[in-house]
Structure 1
Amino acid sequence: MIKTWCGMFGLLAAMAAAAQEQPGDFTNQVPLSVSGQGPWYRLDLPLALQLGARQADLGDVRVFNAAGEPQAYALIHQGARHQQSEHQASVKWFPLYDDAESAPGTPKVRVQTGPSGSLIEVQPEEELEAGEEVLRGWLLDTSAIKEPLTQLSLDWSSEREGFQRFSIEASDDLQHWRPWGEGQVARLSFADERIEQHEVTLPGLPARYLRLLWQVPQSAPVLSQVLVQSSATDHVPSPLVWSEPIKGSSLKANEYTWMLPAALAVERIQVGLDQPNSLAPVDLFGRYDPNGSWEPLESGLLYRLTQNGQDAVQSELPLRGETLRQLKLQVDDRGGGLGAEAPLLRVAVRPVQLVFLARGAGPYRLAIGSAAVQGAPLPIGTLIPGVDEQRLGTLGVAEPAITPVIVAPPPPSAAVASASNWKRISLWLVLVIGVLALAAMAWSLTRSRPNSP
């Protein structure tokens, strides 16, 4: 009897193992196009598809071939930072003067450097009389810093308030300059309080010299301290992936909440500031459990102010990558608030890369969205033995063949649906017949056993 029942359970287990996952088991499907050298292909998983997952760890993502067979795959959650250590150092700075009546542009100067490349003296090419010069910018000596530059911190004389915008350029020889974007510092006083912004993000590249050119030279501040932060790393952080705007609600004045479309490891948020001349000191809170307590995440100043015909906007707050489901923003009404309705919110996360081993004929299809399936990713070292970052960069590329949006899977054709239904019916029929046969066998054995005296 024990052997009989063990055999029955073994048959049940075998039948269950034979029932493989099918594309139709997932709520969202997107066809993939592949290019490059296989058989492995890497796909930057679009955030729009990630939001369709029923499992927070993306355990319900699969890739199928044309025959509906699942492919072996790995998920690579790209880290927020690869920095080993950070250093901050004070650097020398030199004013860049030019003729006040000359056209705006880069001032022409004479530069004297030491044997190691450090700056010794910076003077205008032509002698300028007192009252004829204008301070157009500053030249920073970062030649002593060998690591990539990640942040610039400026301090200036207290009489300069408001916003100061400037362009940033980098050079290694003082002859050839490459643009590094723009920066902005600010100092504002209101309600007996002072709000200051001193830090400017740099692109994480090495440079021996930096040149800051103010957009409005007449308001250029007189610097009193320049600090440069560098990072000892060989990796550049992956770019963030931003969500579509999320609508929120406001049940209390100057307090806004947003429910995220899924549990996300949020690295940064962006608050929509539609109304000009908005100024809002804020505190941000978050939680994973909608019924749990709020945890403080970040404080800062959001603003959209018009100055000299241009908008100065600071609408983002950095976070630590915690997994969150809900966000709450509390606004200090002394700055005027952000209105009665909750502004639109966008969140940024680190990208997720999917690598799969192509087996069988294409086209291939990405499927996601199932609460029932079990996670099936392999470690990347198992999927590709001996893999490293250099080899990952040489793999073939898979891309969504259509715009990656959350959509229901297309209905199967009548023939495919009929075949699939018949296959399932046959499987259950065989299972039921097997169970009945085993039950009859067990009953027969019980009947044929002689009675004890």
Structure 2
Amino acid sequence: MNALLLAAAVATTTASDMPQDYTHLIPLSVAGKPSVVQLQLPREAYLNARSASLNDLRVFDAHGTPQAFALRQPDAASSTTHRALPVRIFPLMAERPDAPLAGLEVSTATDGRVLSVRLPAQQGTPSASRTQERLAGLVLDLRQEGLPEPPTVDALHFTLPPGRQTYTGQVWLEASDDLKRWEAVGVAELSWLANASDETLANDKLEFPARPMRYARLSWRSGEPLPFAAISAQAPVHRLAATPVESLLLPAQPGRDPRDLQYSKPAGVTPLGVGLQVDSGNMVLPAMLGSYVEVRRTGQFRFEPAVRTTFYRLEQDGKTRFSGDIAVPVWIGERWVLRFDQPPPVKPALRISWQPATLVFVAGGTPPYTLAVGRDKAAPAARDIGEVAPGFTPAELRTLERATAGAAQEQLAALANAAKRASADNSAAQNRLVILWGVLVLGVAVVAGMVWRLLRQGGAGST
């Protein structure tokens, strides 16, 4: 027994795991010398994998040395853009540009829209001085027509007046909901610099943490107060980037029943959705998706349904309506069967879609690197992401250097070996079945012999 265990251990230890052991090799190109690289798992890897869990994936360097790698589902990356919102500007005039901007006299419409804003008149101020008032600040009405709530903004963008090419000033921003109580929000050093070639370098934004803002007030701490030609509020718009999706059309094959169509799915693909590819005509096809299951007692096959749905394509009023994709349980295996209520008039292809995983590997060997795939009964080699990129945050993982995959290359010797192994496994299975039946028959014969002997002994005793 110990000798058998030792032999099994030695066989396991010395099992070959080299690029030539896999049916397909995909060359990888890596720019620069990054330590950790990511790759969207190419379509060819899924089509040629022999395991639903992608256990037969490997990354090798130029010397055939395996590289540590991990598989992870891509995060839904978000992107932020900005939408410019118009702002209504109301100048605040005073005798001095540094006059306090408190106690505003405001006239508003019934919907809260500002009609006019001015500073209160100073007592004892002669009327001649009132005509020499200068700009002291700006009040902004950010309310958008037709929207009851104030917009959420995170910046103001300024445009110089016509004919003005240079300017520098420090602007303070305050916000309010009622034009009475003001809260400091941010400050910015606005500047526009121009050279003799009319090239301009501008810092024309005042940025701050995103917040709802109904009214704003601008005042100057340095520089000349300026009546800007336009001010726009920048409203952030957050969007989730679409995750990559691959798709494949599976051709239809006749089933065991006239109502059935069979489809063979690649072993490495775990579909997110399944749909029927009907390209023309008006069709409504109720069907059940499932698989054939062998009945051991009779050796016959019965249909085991998993999902019932209705596929359709209808043209109505110049528009075409399609049935959407459906989810499929994993347990139905790799050979699927569509059973229709009636024998189908056409044999449409079955469309499957999946989300390719991201492969992250350590570029610690000698380039170039190769992705190998396609080996029966391969042991899993993927590791946890913490063992491949320790200490990396999700944001850092998303920005890793990306490798580029080339065209997949078939290895005919590996394909032939895979076919031989499959034939040998089939022969071994048949031999085991023959041995099992032989043992069973022998056991029945032994039991029959024992019964016969007991019967004889009983007969002799009675005599």
Bigger CA radius of gyration: 2
